[in-house]
Structure 1
Amino acid sequence: MAHFLADRALQLSSSNIIHLSRLAEKYKAINLAEGFPDFPAPIAIKNAAVEAINADFNQYRHVQRLCDEVAAMFERTKGVKINPETQVSICCGQTEALVAAVLAVINERDEVVLLDPSYETYEAAVRLAGAKAKHVSMDPPNWTLDFKKLESAIGSRTKAVIINSPHNPTGKVFSEDELAGIAKLCCKFDCLAVTDEVYEHLVYTEAGHKTLATFPGMKDRTIVTSSISKTFSVTGWRIGWAIAPEAISPAITSIHEKLVDSAPAPFQEAAVTALTVGSKYYLNLRAEYIERRNLICEALEEAGLTVESKPEGSFFVFARLPETYPLKDVDYVADLIKSAGVVIVPGNGFFHADSLCNENYRDRYVRVAFCKNIATLRSAREAIREHWRLHSSS
Structure 2
Amino acid sequence: MMKKPSANVGLLKESIFSEMTMKANQLGAINLSQGFPDFDGPSFIKDYVNEAMEGPYNQYGPPSGAMALRLSLGEMYKKIYGLSYDPNNEITVTNGATEGLFCSFLALLDPGDEVILFEPYYDSYLASIQMVGAKAKPVTLRGPDFGLPIEELEKAFTDKTKLIVLNSPHNPTGKVFSKAELQALSEMIIKHDVFVISDEVYEFLTFDDHKHIPISSLPGMRERTIMISSSGKTFSFTGWKIGWCLASEELTKAIRMVHQFNTFGAAHPLQVAVSKAINKIEDYLVPFRESYQKKREILYEGLKKSELQPFLPEGTFFILCQIPQGKNKTDVEYCFELMESKKVAAIPPSAFYSRSPEEGQKYVRFCFAKKDETLRSAVINLLEAKG
Q: TM-score, normalised by structure 2?
A: 0.96
Indicate the residue corresponding to 2:218 in structure 1: 215
Alignment counterpart, residue 72 of structure 1, candidates 64, 75, 88: 75
Please give the alpha-carbon distance, in whole angstroms, between the structure 2 residues aligned to 1:276 and 1:183: 31
Aligned counterpart for 2:121 among listed residues 86, 95, 118: 118
- For the 8 Å contact 1:90–1:253, the answer to whether it is kept is no
Identity %: 35
Instruction: Classify the secondary structure of the residue corresponding to 1:345.
Output: coil
Specify the SS of the correspondent of 1:224. strand
What is the alpha-carbon distance in structure 1 between the residues aligned to residue 379 and residue 185 of structure 2?
A: 38
Counterpart of 1:226 in structure 2 is 229
Residue matched to 2:373 = 375
Letter in 2 for 1:300: L
1:271-286 to 2 correspondences below 5 Å: 271-286=274-289
- What aligned pairs does 1:1-394 form with structure 2 within 5 A after superposition? 3-62=3-62, 63-307=66-310, 309-353=311-355, 356=356, 359=358, 361-387=359-385, 389=386, 392=387
CA distance in 2, matches of 1:25, 1:255: 36
Give CA deviations for 1:204-249 in whole Å, capped at 9, x if unaligned.
1324110110111101001000010000001000000000111110
Q: For residues 115 and 301 of structure 1, what CA distance do their matches in structure 2 show?
A: 27
Q: CA deviation at 1:120?
A: 0.3
1:54: how far off?
A: 2.6
Q: CA deviation at 1:121?
A: 0.9
Which stretches in structure 2 are left out of the alignment for 5+ residues?
none
Paired residue secondary structure (1:223)? strand
- The alpha carbon displacement at 1:22 in A equals 2.0
Runs of 4+ in 1 over 3 A off after TM superposition: none
Deviations 1:278-322 (A, max 9, x none): 423101111111111111111212121001x31000000010011
Structure 1, unaligned stretches of length 5 or more? none
Shift, 1:26, TM fit: 3.2
Query: CA–CA distance in 2 between the matches of 1:320 and 1:300?
Result: 11
- The alpha carbon displacement at 1:146 in A equals 1.3
Matched to 2:118, the amino acid is L
Report if aligned partners of 1:88, 1:243 keep a CA contact under 8 Å in 2: yes
Asked if the contact 2:83–2:217 (Cα under 8 Å) also holds between the matched residues in 1, the reply is yes
Question: TM-score with structure 1 length normalisation?
Answer: 0.95
Q: Which moved more, 1:169-178 or 1:331-340?
A: 331-340
SS at match of 1:112: strand
Determine the C-alpha separation between the residues in 2 that align with 1:56 and 1:21: 37
CA contact (8 A) 1:151 1:185 kept: yes
Query: Alignment RMSD, CA only?
Result: 1.4
- Cα offset, 1:2, TM superposition: 8.1
Aligned partner letter, 1:106: L
Give the C-alpha shift of residue 277 in structure 1.
1.1
Contact 1:35 1:369 in 2 (8 A): yes
1:3 to partner: Cα distance: 4.2
**Matched residue type, 1:317:** I
Q: Secondary structure at the match of 1:318?
A: strand
Conserved 8 A contact 2:210-2:314: no
